[in-house]
Structure 1
Amino acid sequence: MTFGISGGRRAAAVLLTTGAVLVAGPLVSPAAAASSAAAPKVSAKGAFLMDAGSGKTVFSKTADTKRQMASTTKTMAVAVVLDTKGVNLDKKVTVKQTYRDYVAKNGASTADLRTGDKLTVRQLLYGTMLPSGCDAAYALADTFGTGSTVSARTKSFISKMNAKAKSLGMKNTKFDSFDGISKAGNNYSTPRDLARLARHALKNSTFKAVVKAASTKQKATAKSGGTRTYTWYNTNKLLGSYKGATGVKTGTGTAAGPCLIFSATKNGKTLVGVILNDNNRYADAGKMLDHGFGKKTTSTLKVRPLPQGAQQD
């Protein structure tokens, strides 16, 4: 990604066309300190791992230091939609040219939504989380915000994101963006706060299904009245690379660096982790998960490659 705060690369594949501060020293949690000899060394500026079942800390490194979070922001956008009372996931949303213009202006990651196409809310969730589509996130914000203009509705939606953060006890988090593109830089969180968010979101079956998918093909109603098939690949390369990985979201930005919210389940135990600003995010996520599952890391993680032309984030 080349723009300021959030992640983006090339256009996602679409059938019929071609088409995603405050630094402190490391802190190891009491739980991890008990086995400090086995605690992993990670290059992340901030990292956190929790047991999703108990909520207990497994590993921690500057977990309460506020940092830019790039497109991991979209995790909250999707959580707000899914937590909306009476949400209709089959509701159809018409893609506006405004969403495409926004992506083009910001050089943002995209689901390559086509103007006039009609996609369901459920499909927009996939478009937001897999190729990290800022256009899909914009469509959700515009649909689920309130107000008489697009600007008012997106502002309203961001307010809902902040209200949700407060309700989840995310005390060191602030959103000024629905997708992580923050001109003012007031879009930040901490590893601990984002782990709380992920733990909450993963309780929703739809969220779990979306973030676990390595890829998806979605048929939407094209503007012409025909059918367009969107093909999206998950930018989270931990899926298919680490056995038991189940999600969650990538993010990359100039200020944020490479970020990752991740989860994995083994033998009935689920771990949720967060890495902020780490050029070795996948390898370090693997180390953290091995530590949490009581497994010694003996080899380098072989990261799943994405198809040519797929979004990178």
Structure 2
Amino acid sequence: MSSAVLALVVGVSSPATAAQAADAPAVGAKSAYLIDSTGTVHLGKRETRRLPVASLVKVMTAYVVLREASLSDTITITAADVSHATSNGATTAALKKGERLTVRDLLYGLMLPSGADAANALARRYGPGKTAFVAKMNRTARSLGLADTRYTNPDGLPTPGSGGYSTAVDQVRLAQRALASDTFKTVVGSKVHKVAKSSVHRAHTWTNSNKLLTRADGVLGVKTGYTRAAGYCLLFAGERGGREVVGVLLGDQNERRFSTAEQLLDYAEEQIALG
């Protein structure tokens, strides 16, 4: 069987040898992409298709904040921050009006429990205002060469009449850039983050929604996401064969995304070993 035919059988659109394509794990997600730090593409499936990416949007939110803010900056949580998340049925960091938290802690609240309240507070501060912040997100996307990415908010919630989108390729490229930040890598690689109670904020314990961190060794992060339109998404990274391997699954099933990501990291390690 030719390598082209094998590629169609496994849903891989990027060039691959017959042996590689035959060994590639089955990918049920609508779109997928897997690359390592040398630029070797290990798998692609409809990787340039524009799709909603749900809370993977928060990767760009964190990236912009890290360029704009000092980690010691303090932000006061407003009623609007809280109601934005609760009224939209979004995941939250359980923030309360009047709390004052550092940017460092809010980044954990943004990325681990995927708090839309934290996203709203950060965007409000560093736009300033959400409209200006989203404009910064889109300018940053263009500066990074993410030509098939458009943001409409800082949290990935559905926006009636003006939906945002990205591609598997663009999401992996963004993750590679974001992971160059030690702070970002520390945040997304944390299984749990605790904020001790103080005179200006409540105690918080945030658990990372990325189950891959507890399923495999050498996992670096990165972010989960879900909306009805996007399905279950997972942007992931790990150290394999001395390289940083980054991949994404868009439009997958809940538990399957984690098992598939684990298989893809193992597959990349095998291919790296083969040279």
Give yes or no for TM over 0.5. yes
3-state DSSP class of the match of 1:93? strand
Q: Matched residues in 2 for 1:169 and 1:68: separation?
A: 18
3-state DSSP class of the match of 1:90? coil
Say if 1:68 and 1:255, in contact at 8 Å, map to a contact too.
Answer: yes
Say if 2:38 and 2:243, in contact at 8 Å, map to a contact too.
Answer: no
The Cα of 1:245 is off from its aligned counterpart by 1.0
Say if 1:70 and 1:251, in contact at 8 Å, map to a contact too.
Answer: yes
Say if 1:71 and 1:252, in contact at 8 Å, map to a contact too.
Answer: yes
Among residues 3, 21, 30, which one is paired with 1:36 in the alignment? 21
Q: Matched residues in 2 for 1:236 and 1:56: separation?
A: 25
Q: Matched residues in 1 for 2:188 and 2:91: separation?
A: 17
Q: Which residue number in structure 1 is paired with residue 11 of structure 2? A: 26
Distance 1:220 1:57, change over 3 A: farther
Q: Which residue number in structure 1 is paired with residue 225 of structure 2? A: 251
The Cα of 1:55 is off from its aligned counterpart by 2.8
Q: Matched residues in 1 for 2:88 and 2:200: separation?
A: 30
Say if 1:119 and 1:220, in contact at 8 Å, map to a contact too.
Answer: no
3-state DSSP class of the match of 2:56? helix
* 278-287 vs 63-72, which moves further: 278-287
Query: TM-score with structure 2 length normalisation?
Result: 0.90
Q: Which residue number in structure 1 is paired with residue 42 of structure 2? A: 58
Distance 1:33 1:71, change over 3 A: farther
Q: Matched residues in 2 for 1:156 and 1:228: separation?
A: 29
Give the fraction of aligned pairs with identical amino acids, expressed as a percent.
42
Q: Which residue number in structure 2 is paired with residue 192 of structure 1? A: 169
Q: CA RMSD, aligned part only?
A: 1.6
State the AA in 2 paired with 1:216. H
The Cα of 1:58 is off from its aligned counterpart by 1.5
Say if 1:47 and 1:63, in contact at 8 Å, map to a contact too.
Answer: yes
Moved segments of 4+, more than 6 Å: none
Q: Matched residues in 2 for 1:277 and 1:120: separation?
A: 33
Tell whether 2:245 aligns with 1:271: yes
Q: Matched residues in 1 for 2:94 and 2:86: separation?
A: 10
Say if 1:258 and 1:277, in contact at 8 Å, map to a contact too.
Answer: yes
Give ranges in structure 2 of 5+ residues lacking alignment. Answer: 1-9
Q: Which residue number in structure 2 is paired with residue 131 of structure 1? A: 113
Q: Matched residues in 2 for 1:122 and 1:32: separation?
A: 44
Among residues 87, 90, 93, which one is paired with 1:105 in the alignment? 87
The Cα of 1:251 is off from its aligned counterpart by 0.2
Q: Matched residues in 2 for 1:99 and 1:33: separation?
A: 52
* 33-42 vs 108-117, which moves further: 33-42
Say if 1:32 and 1:59, in contact at 8 Å, map to a contact too.
Answer: no
Among residues 133, 157, 181, which one is paired with 1:157 in the alignment? 133
Count residues with an aligned counterpart: 259
Distance 1:173 1:34, change over 3 A: farther
Query: TM-score with structure 1 length normalisation?
Result: 0.79
Q: Which residue number in structure 1 is paired with residue 213 of structure 2? A: 239
**Larger RCO (CA within 8 A; separation ≥ 6):** 1
State the AA in 2 paired with 1:287. Q
Q: Matched residues in 1 for 2:12 and 2:238: separation?
A: 23
Q: Matched residues in 1 for 2:143 and 2:187: separation?
A: 23
* Higher relative helix content: 2
State the AA in 2 paired with 1:293. E
3-state DSSP class of the match of 2:138? helix
Distance 1:158 1:166, change over 3 A: same
1:222-249 CA distance string (max 9 Å, x none)? xxx3652110000001001112111000
Say if 1:249 and 1:262, in contact at 8 Å, map to a contact too.
Answer: yes
State the AA in 1 paired with 2:76. T
1:199-231 CA distance string (max 9 Å, x none)? 00000000000000001101354xxx3652110
State the AA in 2 paired with 1:141. A
